């Protein structure tokens, strides 16, 4: 009985560890220090971070060193409000949380004279100063507006630095005992067989909403979300965090769209025909071509 209890506790620890890692992979975090105009830290200040798309709020207070942290935030747009006795309320807006982002938002509050407040609108490019991992983020606007023949996000992976399409698999390649050739669980879609920084395609990881979806037989991904359902994806090419230690190539993480307080939806049609096509030099007429997606 004692041994069974120990195994059960170990299983719970492993489950919670997996959940924590998976959650960290699909969001970001914000940390910062609250100080006054003299540079002194402000302990006990109330810091509220609000997702401006959903209205969800998280609240914390600064510690004795004036430090606050929100370690787990979903992808989206945020604002930060800071209040403390004897100081003017402070607000900072337009903070974007991307996949695996780590923002440092330091706050300087001013002594309250009357009913005044400070509001900072963040328009400049955000720079991550705490993480050393390298990788590019593509958001939903870029993903849906780029012309793709096939509507697969994996067709966009090779446009990033250090990434090249490659496949070392041949029809005669031995995958396992008694099995040769390639297996394509993604069907006709691009499976994402890539060389990142010169590594083999089987060295890359693929995650959708924090779940490992790497196709372990041939490399690439076994699940390709619909292009219009993707909020953003990121290709980590170097120096990524320890939770990705299973891969020595790169890691592709995808986050699907979530809800918001506004009613919304989407529809698309991609149409091609022969209207703008030229006639081949030796062809008597233009070849007919029609495609609707």
Q: Tell me the β-bridge partners of 59.
A: 48
Highest average pLDDT, of 23-37, 39-53, 249-263, comes from 39-53
Report the distance separating Cα 227 and Cα 210, nearest Å: 18
Comparing CA positions, the residue from 17, 143, 188, 196 lying closest to residue 205 is: 196
Q: Would the pLDDT of 60 be above 50?
A: yes
Highest average pLDDT, of 130-139, 188-197, 248-257, comes from 248-257
Q: pLDDT tens-digit profile of 65-101?
A: 999 999 989 888 999 999 998 899 999 999 988 888 8
Name the token pair of 76: 């989206």
pLDDT band at 291 (very low <50, low <70, confident <90, very high): confident
Average pLDDT over residues 132-149: 68
Residue-level pLDDT at 1: 52
The domains located in the chain, with CATH, are 26-121 (2.60.40.1120), 134-256 (2.170.130.10)
pTM here? 0.64
Average pLDDT over residues 155-177: 72
| Phi/psi of residue 9, nearest 5 degrees | -65, -40
Secondary structure class of 2 (helix, strand, coil): helix
10 Å CB burial of residue 37 (0-12, 13-18, 19+) is: exposed
Comparing CA positions, the residue from 11, 75, 69 lying closest to residue 259 is: 75
Size of the chain, expressed as the number of residues it contains: 293
Q: pLDDT tens-digit profile of 201-227?
A: 888 889 899 888 888 777 788 888 888
Highest average pLDDT, of 59-68, 186-195, 212-221, comes from 59-68
Q: Would the pLDDT of 134 be above 60?
A: no
Report the distance separating Cα 171 and Cα 154, nearest Å: 22
Q: Which residue has the tokens 């120990």?
A: 6
């Amino acid at each position: 009985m004692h041994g069974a209890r120990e195994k059960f506790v170990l299983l719970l620890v492993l489950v919670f560890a997996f959940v924590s890692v998976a959650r960290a992979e699909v969001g970001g975090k914000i940390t910062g220090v609250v100080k006054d105009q003299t540079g002194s830290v402000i302990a006990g200040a109330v810091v509220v971070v609000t997702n401006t798309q959903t209205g969800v709020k998280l609240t914390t207070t600064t510690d004795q060193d004036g430090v606050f942290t929100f370690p787990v935030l979903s992808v989206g747009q945020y604002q930060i409000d800071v209040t403390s006795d004897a100081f003017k309320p402070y607000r900072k807006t337009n903070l974007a949380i991307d996949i695996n982002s780590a923002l440092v938002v330091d706050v300087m509050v001013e002594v309250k004279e009357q009913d005044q407040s400070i509001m900072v609108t963040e328009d400049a490019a955000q720079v991550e100063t705490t993480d050393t991992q390298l990788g590019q983020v593509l958001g939903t606007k870029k993903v849906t507006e780029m012309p793709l023949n096939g509507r697969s996000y994996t067709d966009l992976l090779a446009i990033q630095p250090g990434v090249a399409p490659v496949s070392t698999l041949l029809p005669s390649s031995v995958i396992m005992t008694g099995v040769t050739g390639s297996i394509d669980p993604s069907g006709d879609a691009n499976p994402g067989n890539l060389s990142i920084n010169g590594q083999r395609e089987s060295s890359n990881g693929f995650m959708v909403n924090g779940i490992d979806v790497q196709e372990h037989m041939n490399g690439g991904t076994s699940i390709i979300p619909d292009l219009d359902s993707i909020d953003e994806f990121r290709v980590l090419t170097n120096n990524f965090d320890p939770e990705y230690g299973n891969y020595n190539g790169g890691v592709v993480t995808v986050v699907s769209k979530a809800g918001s307080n506004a009613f919304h939806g989407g529809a698309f049609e991609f149409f091609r025909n022969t209207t703008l096509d030229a006639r081949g030099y030796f062809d008597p007429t233009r070849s007919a071509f029609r495609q609707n997606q």
